[in-house]
């Protein structure tokens, strides 16, 4: 349970910091170019690899869950509450498959970060500056693009409400074995979840470093 709490805390922190960073970077680009359109295009090129991973994750999840999809857009758009780095058209579906599609970039991005950092630490590759640079660049790209939009997470909220209702019904009926089974599996996966949570504090540290740099130059 401690591992899950650490993981949730790390994800929430990373989400907030990444949104702040993107807004700050957009301001920098806007001051440099004096054009909202040019700043938006530059932001799109900077985060193009991460945006590609994000949108392809949505698309592959839609393909696996047999949900129709349409045009893939990798160029950013300025919205009232920020900048949308990319999009892919997903057909109307139920909240279960919608949740899978909505969470796909987080699962894919988190998996890549977990595998990359674990591989580098276990293999002693951190002595190679090129590999360190590649890891930092990959973390930079993924952490700023892996989180889903409010629209994507809408189906996730519906799924949470659904499971909450089912759980209450099971408790009223005094059917406890699903909770016992889930708790057992969570305990078994605890060390891996906790390790992943702690690994996420590496990109959080990098994020804080970037924001400190912005603060130093008074952005």
Round the CA-based radius of gyration of the chain to a whole number and report it. Answer: 19
Please, what is the average pLDDT of the chain? 80
Q: For residue 79, what pLDDT is reported?
A: 64
The pLDDT value given to residue 217:
57
Q: What are phi and psi of 150, to 5 degrees?
A: -60, -35
200 versus 61: which is more confidently predicted?
Answer: 61
Mean pLDDT score, 128-137: 79
pLDDT value of residue 161:
83
Q: Which residue has the tokens 């994000």?
A: 54
pLDDT at 86: 75
Q: Assess contact for 146 and 91: CB atoms under 8 A.
A: no
Residue 81: pLDDT above 70?
no
Query: What are 151-195's pLDDT values in tens digits?
Result: 666 666 777 788 888 888 888 888 888 878 877 877 777 777 777
Residue 95 Ramachandran class (φ > 0 left, ψ -120 to 50 alpha, else beta): alpha
Domain borders along the chain are: 2-216
pLDDT tens for 20-69 read 888 888 888 888 888 888 888 888 888 888 888 888 998 999 999 888 88
User: For residue 107, what pLDDT is reported?
Assistant: 84
Report the pLDDT value the prediction gives residue 163, as an integer from 0 to 100.
83
Query: What percent of the chain is modeled with pLDDT above 90?
Result: 1
């Amino acid at each position: 349970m401690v591992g899950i709490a650490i993981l949730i805390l790390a994800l929430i922190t990373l989400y907030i910091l990444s949104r702040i960073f993107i807004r700050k970077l957009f301001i920098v680009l806007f001051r440099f170019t004096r054009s909202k359109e040019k700043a938006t295009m530059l932001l799109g090129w900077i985060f193009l690899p991460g945006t590609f991973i994000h949108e392809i994750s949505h698309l592959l999840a839609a393909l696996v869950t047999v949900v129709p999809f349409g045009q893939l857009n990798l160029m950013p758009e300025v919205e009232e509450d920020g900048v949308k780095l990319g999009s892919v058209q997903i057909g109307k579906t139920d909240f279960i498959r919608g949740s899978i599609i909505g969470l796909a970039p987080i699962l894919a991005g988190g998996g890549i970060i977990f595998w990359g950092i674990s591989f580098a630490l276990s293999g002693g590759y951190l002595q190679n500056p090129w590999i360190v640079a590649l890891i930092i660049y990959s973390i930079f790209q993924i952490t700023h693009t892996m989180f889903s939009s409010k629209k994507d997470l809408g189906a996730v909220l519906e799924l949470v409400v659904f499971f909450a209702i089912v759980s209450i019904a099971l408790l009223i009926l005094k059917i406890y074995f699903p909770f016992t089974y889930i708790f057992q599996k969570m305990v078994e996966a605890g060390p891996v979840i906790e390790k992943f949570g702690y690994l996420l504090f590496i990109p959080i540290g990098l994020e804080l470093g970037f924001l400190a740099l912005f603060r130093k130059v008074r952005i």
